Amino acid sequence: MGLLFRLLDPKIARAFRDYMFGLLAWAAVFVGEDYLKAFQKWLWGTPQEQQQALQRQPTLSKEAEALFVVFQQNMDKQYQLNILARYILTLPALPEEGH
């Protein structure tokens, strides 16, 4: 990784490094330390280690689990609305609509 930074323009390398540190800090705060470690293990591991990491996912806290249920319900509603919108677009026009 250091060699890559030497090949790049110093300004670009510094901006990229700052961006990566910012991304890491954001992930550590909003994603959580356990999930971040599991993701890093999956990202840098061999295919066998990646499969094991997927099977050993950390459990959610009660608060996060309640939010996840609400998120799933909202996503289901959004999916159903998209299906309804596609169906409405396939319906023929009414005579008074002038089509």
Q: Where are the domains of the chain?
A: 1-58, 59-92
Residue with tokens 């309640």: 66
Q: Are 38 and 53 in contact (CB under 8 A)?
A: yes
Taking only the tens place, the pLDDT of each residue in 11-70 is: 666 777 777 777 777 666 666 677 777 777 767 777 777 677 666 666 778 888 888 889
Name the burial class of residue 87, with classes exposed (0-12), middle (13-18) and buried (19+) by CB atoms within 10 angstroms of its CB: exposed
If pLDDT is split at 50, 70 and 90, which confidence band does 87 have?
very high
**CA dist 33 to 9, 29, 65, Å?**
33, 8, 17
Cβ-based burial of 50 (10 A; exposed 0-12, middle 13-18, buried ≥19) = middle
Helical ranges in 1-99 per DSSP H: 2-7, 10-30, 33-44, 47-55, 62-90
Tokens of 23: 């991304």
Q: Is the pTM of this model over 0.85?
A: no
